[in-house]
């Protein structure tokens, strides 16, 4: 067989729904020599990861660590540990990832009650309250905090109170929100959460930060049946990520190096500063879009700063614009999914990608492509609105 040439990745500006661009410091960290997954040096780093993740999640939960797998593995981790056959689960569905939650919960044997909202809209406390009145013994209420498919940011404080008053645990998907907008696990009394490394933390995909409250951990430990997934069983993982360091699996060493470096950058910037940067760049993009007669397709007042769904104007071919941005300008943006397919561009301003420089690059290219596609667009007006 002929030996293929070495792969060389192009330098893209990643402005889609993830992954985001990664800093040179994170990539350099990942190029360090391997050590064993039980090496004392790596074990020490594991403790530092847990400490930094607690700081970013704003929690004291001891069981806070990165699951070896992407955000979807974190989703399964939370569900398989906390529910089982016959349990009553309420899931908010307002996009792709609420739909995926339903699928995972049903695979666990749960009886799922869906609370639905149009894509781009939030799940309201009133909807959850109504669902809780129909479910006698809810075990879990699950909400997507930041719905990546639509850019909707659902407030969860009131939903958390309702869930706990009904005796249920609250599970929160923070894949796209962590590191880009406020996530306050302890203040909001979130029982379980999962996230991803490739969004606002700006680390390559491959790990899923998770956190379980003491209450959730007790539920997992007192189960009458085994967790359906051996790999994701927190009762086993706790021995590896806890003080015992009992072998469970071979952790992805270099991915943990990268996460360590990425979390250091997040904390060095400061959470409040990082949130403010994401908010300001979102507002700048929104102003620029208004200046050229375009708008976002998600609910006003609940628009996610780091994921911006731009409504495709009449007469423009959505796919053609994305292709030209990628092929001519090395800029990646995302397509719409489900009922929003062909109707929006999903523009990510996440982590390392969220900068005025990238906004200017995007708007200059975007306006040029729109003009070439027959939609007159004033580039100068768009750029002036960034000021």
Residue 262: closest CA among 11, 33, 20 = 20
pLDDT at 247 over 90: no
Predicted confidence (pLDDT) per residue in 183-233, tens digit:
999 999 999 999 999 999 999 999 999 999 999 999 999 999 999 999 999
Mean pLDDT on 361-372: 98
Predicted confidence (pLDDT) per residue in 322-338, tens digit:
999 999 999 999 999 99
Token output for 221: 């430990």
Predicted confidence (pLDDT) per residue in 367-380, tens digit:
999 999 999 999 99
Token output for 223: 């189960």
Average predicted confidence (pLDDT) for the chain: 97
Predicted confidence (pLDDT) per residue in 151-168, tens digit:
999 999 999 999 999 999
Measure the CA dihedral 229/230/235/240, to 10°: -130
Q: For residue 243, what pLDDT band results from cuts at 50, 70 and 90?
A: confident
Mean pLDDT on 351-360: 98
Strands 146-147 and 88-93: unpaired
According to the model, what pLDDT value does residue 71 have?
A: 97
Q: For residue 245, what pLDDT band results from cuts at 50, 70 and 90?
A: confident
According to the model, what pLDDT value does residue 85 have?
A: 97
According to the model, what pLDDT value does residue 246 have?
A: 87
According to the model, what pLDDT value does residue 106 have?
A: 98
**263, 56 contact by CB (below 8 A):** yes
Q: Structural domains in the chain?
A: 24-267 (3.40.640.10), 270-384 (3.90.1150.10)
Cα–Cα distance list, 284 to 177, 349, 358 (Å): 19, 11, 12
pLDDT at 296 over 90: yes
* DSSP secondary structure code for residue 305 in this structure: T
User: Is residue 269 packed enough to be buried (19+ CB in 10 Å), middle (13-18) or exposed (0-12)?
Assistant: middle
Ranges 35-39, 275-279, 324-328: which has the least confidence: 35-39
Percentage of the residues of the chain whose pLDDT score is greater than 70: 100
Predicted confidence (pLDDT) per residue in 61-88, tens digit:
999 999 999 999 999 999 999 999 999 9
Token output for 157: 């404080």
Q: Model's pTM, two decimal places?
A: 0.96
Q: What contacts 119, CB < 8 A, 6 or more positions away?
A: 94, 95, 149, 150, 152, 338, 339, 340
According to the model, what pLDDT value does residue 80 have?
A: 98
According to the model, what pLDDT value does residue 242 have?
A: 83
Percentage of the residues of the chain whose pLDDT score is greater than 90: 96
């Amino acid at each position: 067989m002929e030996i293929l040439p070495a792969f060389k990745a192009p330098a893209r500006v990643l402005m889609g729904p993830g992954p985001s661009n990664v800093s040179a410091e994170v990539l350099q960290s990942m190029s360090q020599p391997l050590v064993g997954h039980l090496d004392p040096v790596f074990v020490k780093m594991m403790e530092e990861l847990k400490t930094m993740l607690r700081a970013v999640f704003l929690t004291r939960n001891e069981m806070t660590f990165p699951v070896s797998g992407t955000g979807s593995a974190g989703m399964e981790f939370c569900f398989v540990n906390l529910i089982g056959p016959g349990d009553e689960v309420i899931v908010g569905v307002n996009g792709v990832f609420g739909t995926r939650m339903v699928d995972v919960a049903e695979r666990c044997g749960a009886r799922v009650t869906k609370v639905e909202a149009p894509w781009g809209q939030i799940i309201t406390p009133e909807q959850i309250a109504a669902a809780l009145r129909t479910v006698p013994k809810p075990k879990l209420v699950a909400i997507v905090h930041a719905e990546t498919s639509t850019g909707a940011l659902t407030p969860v404080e009131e939903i958390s109170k309702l869930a706990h008053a009904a005796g249920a645990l609250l599970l929160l998907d923070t894949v796209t929100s962590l590191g880009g907008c406020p996530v306050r696990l302890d203040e909001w009394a979130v029982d379980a959460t999962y996230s991803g490394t490739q969004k606002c933390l700006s680390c390559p995909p491959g790990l899923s930060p998770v956190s379980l409250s003491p209450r959730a951990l007790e539920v997992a430990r007192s189960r009458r049946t085994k967790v359906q997934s051996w790999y994701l069983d927190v009762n086993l993982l706790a021995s590896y990520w806890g003080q015992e360091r009992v072998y469970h699996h071979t952790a992805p060493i270099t991915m943990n190096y990268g996460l360590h470096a990425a979390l250091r950058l997040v904390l060095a910037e400061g959470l409040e500063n990082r949130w403010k940067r994401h908010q300001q760049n979102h507002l700048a993009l929104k102003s620029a879009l208004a200046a050229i007669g375009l708008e976002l397709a998600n609910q006003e007042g609940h628009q996610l700063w780091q994921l911006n769904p731009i409504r495709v104007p009449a007469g423009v071919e959505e796919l053609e614009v994305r292709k030209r941005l990628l092929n001519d300008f090395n800029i990646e943006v995302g397509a719409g999914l489900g009922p929003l397919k062909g109707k929006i561009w999903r523009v990510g301003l996440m982590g390392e990608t969220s900068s005025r420089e990238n906004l200017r690059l995007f708007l200059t290219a975007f306006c040029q492509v729109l003009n070439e596609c027959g939609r007159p667009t004033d580039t100068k007006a768009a750029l002036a609105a960034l000021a």
